[in-house]
C-alpha cells in the first residue's frame, strides 16, 4: 500500500499498486502492436486490392472496420496492462476519443478526400481523383455564388427577427394576462417541422387563388397577390416563413435572459427616474447583450442550414432567387448524384461557416463578457 | 390503377345495380366463351375464367382490396407458374426483393401476390421497402459502391442505363417471355425498351405517357367562336391539334372570358419538379424534335452532342416564352402538380399535357369542376418537324408530324445478375418476377388500386372492364386517350441512359432562369447543352454513346 508521502502529487490518492512486471509489459506491448499490425495489414491489403494492385482482398471494407474495433479494444486492454491504474483512468476517455475519431474525424477526412474526386454515381468508372477541378468548377459556378449571395440576404434578415423576438420577449416578460398561455402559443411554430410549415403556410395559406393570406392581400388592395412570383417577394416570403418558425427560438432565449436580470438594477433605474425607453436602452439592452449575441449566433448557424422550406416551396426559384447553399447542394447530390462536387461545395461552405462564426465571435467578444 | 383514380371512379359512377349488371354481362360473356370457344385448348378457356374471376376480387365498388384479396388474386394467377415450375422446386431458395412502398401499394401488393407463389414453389422472399424519394439515391449508391444486396428489383425504365448498361441485370430466359406473353405489350413497351444490345431484361408492370387534355366547353363556346372568326383567325374554332394552333389559341384566349371567369389557354408548368418538370417541355418539343426517320431526339447518337439547343428545342422553349403573359397569374411558381391538380382540375386553363391519370381524375375527382367538359387526345403535332441530320425543317407529305412523349415509360421488374451463378436461384427469381408481370395479374392491377396503369393491348378490351362494373363511356374514353399514344409509330421514347435524371435536373435549373427572363431561349438552351456535355463527360462520353445507341436499338 502506498503511503501518503508516496502519493504526493497524485490528487486521486491511488491506493492500488502500480508495479508492472516485465512479463505484463511485454504482453501489453505485444497486444497493442499485434492489433496495430492486423489493422495496418488489413488496411494496406484492402487499399491495394481496391486500387487493383492486389488480386486478393475483401469484397467490402467491413473487415477493416472489424480490425479497427479489435485494435481499439486491444488499445484499451493494453493501457491497463502497461500503465496499471493510470491506464484504467485513460479508459474513461479512450473509448470516447476513438469513437469520435471514427464517426467525426475519419468521415471528415474521408469527405475531404471525396471533395477532391470526380465521383458521379452514374459513372461507369467510379471515383477518380481530380485535384482542384471541383474547386475551379465552384469558382465559375453561377448557381453556387448566387446561393451564397442569397445566404447573405437571409442572414441579414436575422436582425429583423431579433428585433421582433426581443419585442415579444419583453411582452411575455411583462405582467400581461394569460402570460403562460401566450408563451406556449408563441412557441408552437418552433415545434412544427419546416416541411409542415412549407406545406401549411407556403403551399396552402399563401396559395394565390384560395389561400387565406392571398385573400387578405386582395382585401388590402393587392389585386393579383403572388408571394413567390417575383424574385424579391419570393425571397421575402421565404424569410418570413423561416422567421415565423424560428423567432420563438430567439424569443425564448431572450425571455430567459430577461427573467435572469437582476431586479435591483431595474428597480434602481426606476428609482433614479428612468423612463421606460431609457430603462430599456440604458439598462436592459446592455445587460442583455451576452444573451442576445448568443441567440443571434445560434440563429445564424440555424439560418446557414436553411433548405427545407426552399426545397418544398420554391425549389430555389424563381430563377434562383430563393436558392440557399444547402438547397443547391441538395440538388447536386440528390438529383444529380454528383457526390464529388457536392462534397466540395459542402466542405467549402463548412470552412466559410467556421471562418464567419469565429470572426463573428471574436468581434462580439467584448460584449459577451458579463458586465459587473 | 392509381388509388385516387379508383376511389373517385367508385364514388362517382359505381352503383350496386351497375355492378350486378356488369357481373351479369361478364357471366354471359364467360358462358358464351365456354360454349363458343369450347374447341380451343384448355389454357385459353381457363384464362378467360381466371380473368373474369380475379376482376371480381373483391368486386368493383365494395371497398379497397385487402391483403387477403391480393393473395387470392395471386393464387388464381398461378397457372402459368405451374406450367414452368414444379411444386416445391425452389425449396431452400431465399430471394431479396427491392421495391417501393408508395401509397402502401407496390411492395405490399407484391407480398400478397407472391405469398401463394412462395407456398407453391417453396422459395422465401425477403423485402426491402423504399420510399420513392429514397429510391434513386439507394439504387445509385448500391450500384456505385458495388453493394447490390437484392435479387429482384422494381425499377423504372429510365434507370435501365444505370443497371442494364452496367451488366448488373440478368438476361431474361425465353420461357419467361412466353409465360408473360410479351407480344401483348403495347407498341412502345416492346423492344428496344427493356432491352440492351438485343437482350431482354425487363418485365413491364406499368405504362406511362403524356397525353393532351382539353376543355370541351371552351371549344363549344359560341362567343369564343364568334370572336375567333371576328379576329380573322384561320379555320374554325376547334380543339387545336398542332402546337402552332395551341399557341394561337392560347394567345387568342388572353383577356377573354368564359362563364364569367378569365379564360386561359395551354398551361405550362414553369417551376422545376425534381427533374420531372423537364418532361413537360419535352411534351412541347417532341413534335418539333422527333423526326419519324430518326429514333433520337435528345442527343446525337454518334457523339452524344445535346440536341436541346437545336432549333426544334429552342422553338419549344420560345413557345413557352411567347405565351408567358397569357398564363394564369403566378405561373412562374407552378410546378406540374400545380398545373394538373390545382389549376386544370379546378377550372383554370383549357389545355394541358400530363400523364394519363390526370384525365381520369378530372372526370371523377370531388374537387374537379371540369368533369363533364373534358376531352383527351394524343399530344399535338407540328406542321413541320426538324430534321437533325439535314439541319432543315421538313413538312411531311402525310400532314402534321406527331410524336407522343412516352414520359418515364413506367415501372418494370428486373432480376439482378448476381443470381446467375446459381441456376436454381436464377430460375426462382425469374419465376417470381414473371408471376408479378403475368398477363392476368396485370389486368387486375390495371383495374384495381395498384399504382400501375394499363400497358398491354389486352387491357384495352372494354367489355372486360364493363364486366367488372365500370361505366362504359367513361372507361372507353379513359383508355383510348392512352392507347393512341402508346401505339403511335413515332412515339418519342425516353433515352434509358445512366444519369438521365441528372440531365433533366440541371435543365430545370437553367429553364427556371430562362422563364425568369435572365436568358433568351437560345442562350438558356446553350447553357443546358453545355451542362449536359459536362455530365456526359463526367459519366463517360464513350460509354454514354454506346449505351444511348443500345437504348435506341441502334447497333
For the stretch A3-59, pLDDT in tens is 444 545 556 555 556 677 888 899 999 999 999 999 999 999 998 988 788 888 887
A121 chain-B contacts, CB cut-off 8 A: 140-141, 143-144, 499
What pLDDT is recorded for position B46? 44
Cα dihedral B61→B67→B68→B74 (10° resolution)? 100
Confidence category of residue B265, pLDDT binned at 50, 70, 90: very high
Mark out chain B residues that contact chain A at CB-CB < 8 A. Answer: 136-137, 140-141, 143-144, 147, 161-162, 165-166, 271-275, 329-330, 332-333, 335, 342, 346, 348, 498-499, 501-502, 505-506, 508-509, 512-513, 515-518, 535, 538-540, 543
* Of the residues A59, A80, A114, the one at which a domain ends: A114
> Taking 90 as the threshold, does the pLDDT of residue A298 lie above it?
yes
Q: How far is B502 from chain A (nearest CA, A)?
A: 4
Residue A92: inside a domain: yes
Q: Using the beta-carbon criterion (under 8 Å), do A321 and B539 form an inter-chain contact?
A: no
**Total domains in the fold of chain A:** 2
Closest CA to B347 of B330, B324, B371: B371
Each residue of B382-416: pLDDT tens digit? 999 999 999 999 999 999 999 999 988 889 999 99
Residue A126: inside a domain: no
Residue A142 shares a structural domain with residue A103: no
Dihedral of alpha carbons A254, A259, A262, A263, sign: positive
Cβ neighbours of residue A59 closer than 8 Å, sequence gap 6 or more: none
Residue A176 shares a structural domain with residue A80: no
Residue A110 shares a structural domain with residue A144: no
* Of the residues A84, A114, A144, the one at which a domain ends: A114
CA atoms within 13 A on the CB side of B97: 27
> Is the Cβ–Cβ distance between B353 and B280 less than 8 Å?
yes
B540 chain-A contacts, CB cut-off 8 A: 123-125
What pLDDT is recorded for position B44? 33
B452 φ, ψ to 5°? -125, 150
Mean pLDDT of chain B: 86
The owner of cell 428609482 is A271
Cβ neighbours of residue B42 closer than 8 Å, sequence gap 6 or more: none
Lookup: cell for A60: 467490402
Q: Please report the domains of chain B, with CATH numbers, ordered by start residue.
A: 67-205+413-452 (3.40.190.10), 210-406+490-552 (3.40.190.10)
Closest CB to A121 among B140, B332, B506: B140
Cβ neighbours of residue A241 closer than 8 Å, sequence gap 6 or more: A197, A198, A201, A202, A309, A313
Residue A252 shares a structural domain with residue A333: yes
Query: What is the three-class DSSP state of A242?
Result: helix
Q: Domain containing A52: what range?
A: 22-114
Residue A354 shares a structural domain with residue A217: yes
> Is the Cβ–Cβ distance between A124 and B542 less than 8 Å?
no
Residue A272 shares a structural domain with residue A181: yes
Q: How many CB pairs under 8 A join A and B?
A: 115
Interface check for A130 against chain B (CB to CB < 8 A): the answer is: no
B198 φ, ψ to 5°? 80, -5
Residue A197: inside a domain: yes
What pLDDT is recorded for position B1? 55
- A85-106: string of b/e by CB count within 10 Å (b at 16+)? eebeebeeeeeeebeeeeeeee
Top-confidence residue, B553 or A257? A257
Cis peptide before A318 (omega within 30 of 0): yes
Residue A17: inside a domain: no
Residue A168 shares a structural domain with residue A72: no
Q: B322 vs B209, B269, B290, B319, CA distance in Å?
A: 26, 14, 22, 5
Residue A85 shares a structural domain with residue A219: no
What pLDDT is recorded for position B4? 54
Each residue of B149-202: pLDDT tens digit? 999 999 988 788 778 878 899 999 999 999 999 999 998 888 888 888 789 999
Annotate B452-519 with DSSP letters as a single string: ----BGGGG-HHHHHHHT--HHHHHHHHHHHHHHHT-TT-EEPP--TTHHHHHHHHHHHHHHHHTTSS
Tell me what ipTM this predicted complex has: 0.78
> Is the Cβ–Cβ distance between B492 and B278 less than 8 Å?
no
Q: Using the beta-carbon criterion (under 8 Å), do B512 and A316 form an inter-chain contact?
A: yes
Residue A122: inside a domain: no
Residue A338 shares a structural domain with residue A267: yes
B147 chain-A contacts, CB cut-off 8 A: 60
Residue A79: inside a domain: yes
> Exposed (0-12), middle (13-18) or buried (19+): which is A200, by Cβ within 10 Å?
middle
Residue A120: inside a domain: no
Confidence category of residue A123, pLDDT binned at 50, 70, 90: confident
For β-strands B152-156 and B202-204, DSSP reports them as unpaired
Closest CA to A280 of A166, A175, A187: A166
B512 to chain A: nearest residue by CA? A319
Q: A121 vs B387, B498, B508, B536, CA distance in Å?
A: 34, 9, 20, 13
Mean pLDDT of chain A: 88
CA B13-B16-B18 angle, to 5 degrees, is 60
Each residue of B140-159: pLDDT tens digit? 888 877 788 999 999 988 78
How does DSSP classify residue A283? I
Q: Using the beta-carbon criterion (under 8 Å), do A121 and B333 form an inter-chain contact?
A: no
Residue A255 shares a structural domain with residue A290: yes
At A307, which CATH number?
Answer: 1.10.3720.10
Rounded to the nearest 10 degrees, the angle between the axes of helix B107-121 and helix B67-76 is 50
* Of the residues A114, A149, A180, the one at which a domain ends: A114
> Taking 60 as the threshold, does the pLDDT of residue A167 lie above it?
yes
Mutate to test the interface with A, among B333, B341, B346 (most CBs of A within 10 A): B333
Residue A76 shares a structural domain with residue A164: no
Residue A87: inside a domain: yes
A134 to chain B: nearest residue by CA? B538
What pLDDT is recorded for position B35? 32
Confidence category of residue B363, pLDDT binned at 50, 70, 90: low
> Taking 80 as the threshold, does the pLDDT of residue B494 lie above it?
yes
Top-confidence residue, B519 or A208? B519
Residue A109 shares a structural domain with residue A188: no
Amino acid at each position: 500500500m502506498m503511503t501518503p508521502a508516496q502519493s504526493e502529487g497524485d490528487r486521486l490518492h491511488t491506493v492500488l499498486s502500480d508495479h508492472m512486471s516485465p512479463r505484463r509489459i511485454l504482453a501489453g506491448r505485444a497486444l497493442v502492436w499485434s492489433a496495430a499490425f492486423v489493422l495496418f495489414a488489413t488496411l494496406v491489403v484492402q487499399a491495394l486490392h481496391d486500387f487493383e494492385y492486389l488480386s486478393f482482398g475483401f469484397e467490402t471494407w467491413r473487415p477493416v472496420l472489424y480490425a479497427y474495433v479489435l485494435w481499439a479494444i486491444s488499445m484499451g486492454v493494453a493501457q491497463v496492462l502497461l500503465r496499471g491504474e493510470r491506464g484504467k483512468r485513460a479508459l474513461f476517455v479512450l473509448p470516447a476519443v476513438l469513437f469520435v475519431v471514427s464517426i467525426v474525424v475519419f468521415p471528415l477526412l474521408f469527405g475531404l478526400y471525396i471533395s477532391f474526386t470526380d465521383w458521379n454515381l452514374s459513372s461507369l468508372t467510379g471515383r477518380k481523383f481530380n485535384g482542384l477541378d471541383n474547386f475551379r468548377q465552384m469558382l465559375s459556378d453561377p448557381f453556387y455564388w448566387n446561393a451564397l449571395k442569397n445566404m447573405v440576404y437571409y442572414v441579414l434578415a436575422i436582425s429583423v427577427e431579433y428585433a421582433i423576438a426581443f419585442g415579444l420577449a419583453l411582452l411575455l416578460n411583462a405582467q400581461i394576462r394569460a402570460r403562460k398561455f401566450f408563451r406556449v402559443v408563441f412557441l408552437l411554430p418552433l415545434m412544427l417541422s419546416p416541411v409542415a410549415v412549407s406545406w401549411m403556410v407556403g403551399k396552402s395559406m399563401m396559395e394565390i387563388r384560395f389561400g387565406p393570406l392571398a385573400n387578405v392581400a386582395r382585401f388590402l388592395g393587392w389585386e393579383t397577390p403572388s408571394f413567390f412570383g417575383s424574385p424579391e417577394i419570393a425571397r421575402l416570403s421565404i424569410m418570413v416563413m423561416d422567421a415565423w418558425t424560428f423567432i420563438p427560438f430567439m424569443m425564448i432565449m431572450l425571455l430567459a435572459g430577461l427573467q435572469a436580470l437582476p431586479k435591483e438594477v431595474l428597480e434602481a433605474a426606476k428609482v433614479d427616474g428612468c423612463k421606460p425607453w431609457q430603462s430599456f436602452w440604458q439598462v436592459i439592452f446592455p445587460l442583455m447583450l451576452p444573451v442576445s449575441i448568443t441567440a443571434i449566433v445560434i440563429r445564424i448557424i440555424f439560418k446557414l442550414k436553411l433548405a427545407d422550406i426552399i426545397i418544398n416551396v420554391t425549389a430555389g426559384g424563381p430563377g434562383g432567387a430563393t436558392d440557399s447553399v444547402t438547397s443547391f447542394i441538395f440538388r447536386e447530390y440528390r438529383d444529380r448524384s454528383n457526390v464529388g462536387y457536392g462534397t466540395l461545395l459542402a466542405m467549402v461552405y463548412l470552412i466559410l461557416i467556421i471562418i464567419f462564426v469565429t470572426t463573428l465571435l471574436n468581434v462580439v467578444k467584448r460584449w459577451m463578457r458579463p458586465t459587473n | 390503377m392509381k388509388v385516387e383514380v379508383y376511389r373517385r371512379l367508385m364514388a362517382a359512377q359505381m352503383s350496386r345495380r351497375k355492378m350486378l349488371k356488369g357481373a351479369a354481362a361478364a357471366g354471359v360473356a364467360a358462358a358464351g366463351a365456354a360454349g363458343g370457344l369450347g374447341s380451343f385448348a384448355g389454357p385459353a378457356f381457363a384464362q378467360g375464367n381466371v380473368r373474369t374471376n380475379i376482376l371480381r376480387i373483391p368486386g368493383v365498388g365494395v371497398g379497397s382490396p385487402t391483403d387477403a384479396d391480393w393473395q387470392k388474386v395471386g393464387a388464381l394467377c398461378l397457372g402459368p407458374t405451374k406450367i414452368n415450375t414444379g411444386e416445391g422446386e425452389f425449396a431452400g431458395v431465399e430471394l431479396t426483393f427491392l421495391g417501393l412502398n408508395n401509397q402502401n401499394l407496390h411492395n405490399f401488393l407484391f407480398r400478397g401476390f407472391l405469398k401463394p407463389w412462395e407456398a407453391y414453389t417453396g422459395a422465401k422472399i425477403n423485402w426491402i421497402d423504399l420510399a420513392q424519394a429514397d429510391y434513386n439515391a439507394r439504387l445509385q449508391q448500391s450500384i456505385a459502391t458495388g453493394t447490390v444486396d437484392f435479387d429482384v428489383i422494381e425499377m423504372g425504365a429510365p434507370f435501365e442505363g444505370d443497371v442494364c448498361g452496367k451488366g448488373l441485370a440478368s438476361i431474361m430466359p425465353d420461357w419467361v417471355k412466353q409465360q408473360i406473353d410479351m407480344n401483348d405489350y403495347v407498341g412502345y413497351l416492346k423492344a428496344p425498351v427493356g432491352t440492351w444490345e438485343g437482350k431482354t431484361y425487363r418485365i413491364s408492370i406499368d405504362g406511362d405517357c403524356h397525353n393532351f387534355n382539353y376543355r370541351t366547353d371552351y371549344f363549344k363556346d359560341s362567343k369564343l367562336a364568334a370572336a375567333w372568326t371576328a379576329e380573322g383567325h384561320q379555320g374554325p374554332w376547334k380543339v387545336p391539334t398542332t402546337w402552332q394552333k395551341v399557341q394561337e389559341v392560347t394567345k387568342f384566349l388572353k383577356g377573354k372570358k368564359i362563364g364569367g371567369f378569365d379564360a386561359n389557354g395551354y398551361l405550362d408548368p414553369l417551376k422545376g419538379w425534381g427533374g420531372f418538370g423537364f418532361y413537360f417541355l419535352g411534351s412541347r418539343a417532341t413534335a418539333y424534335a422527333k423526326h419519324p426517320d430518326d429514333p433520337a431526339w435528345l442527343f446525337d447518337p454518334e457523339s452524344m452532342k445535346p440536341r436541346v439547343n437545336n432549333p426544334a428545342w429552342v422553338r419549344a422553349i420560345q413557345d413557352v416564352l411567347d405565351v408567358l403573359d397569357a398564363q394564369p397569374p403566378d405561373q412562374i411558381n407552378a410546378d406540374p402538380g400545380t398545373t394538373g391538380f390545382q389549376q386544370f382540375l379546378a377550372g383554370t386553363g383549357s389545355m394541358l399535357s400530363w400523364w394519363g391519370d390526370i384525365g381520369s381524375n378530372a372526370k371523377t375527382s370531388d374537387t374537379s369542376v371540369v368533369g363533364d367538359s373534358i376531352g383527351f387526345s394524343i399530344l399535338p403535332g407540328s406542321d413541320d418537324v426538324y430534321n437533325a441530320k439535314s439541319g432543315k425543317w421538313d413538312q411531311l407529305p402525310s400532314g402534321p408530324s406527331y410524336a407522343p412523349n412516352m414520359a418515364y415509360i413506367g415501372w418494370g421488374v428486373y432480376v439482378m445478375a448476381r443470381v446467375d451463378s446459381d441456376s436454381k436461384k436464377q430460375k426462382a427469381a425469374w419465376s417470381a418476377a414473371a408471376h408479378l408481370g403475368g398477363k392476368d395479374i396485370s389486368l387486375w392491377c390495371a383495374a384495381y388500386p395498384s399504382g400501375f396503369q394499363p400497358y398491354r393491348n389486352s387491357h384495352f378490351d372494354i367489355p372486360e372492364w364493363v364486366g367488372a362494373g365500370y361505366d362504359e363511356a367513361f372507361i372507353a374514353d379513359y383508355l383510348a386517350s392512352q392507347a393512341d399514344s402508346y401505339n403511335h409509330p413515332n412515339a418519342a421514347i425516353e433515352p434509358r441512359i445512366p444519369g438521365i435524371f441528372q440531365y433533366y435536373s440541371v435543365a430545370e435549373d437553367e429553364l427556371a432562369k430562362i422563364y425568369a427572363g435572365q436568358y433568351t431561349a437560345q442562350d438558356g438552351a446553350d447553357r443546358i447543352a453545355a451542362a449536359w456535355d459536362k455530365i456526359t463527360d463526367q459519366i463517360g462520353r464513350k460509354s454514354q454513346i454506346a449505351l444511348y445507341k443500345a437504348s435506341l436499338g441502334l447497333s
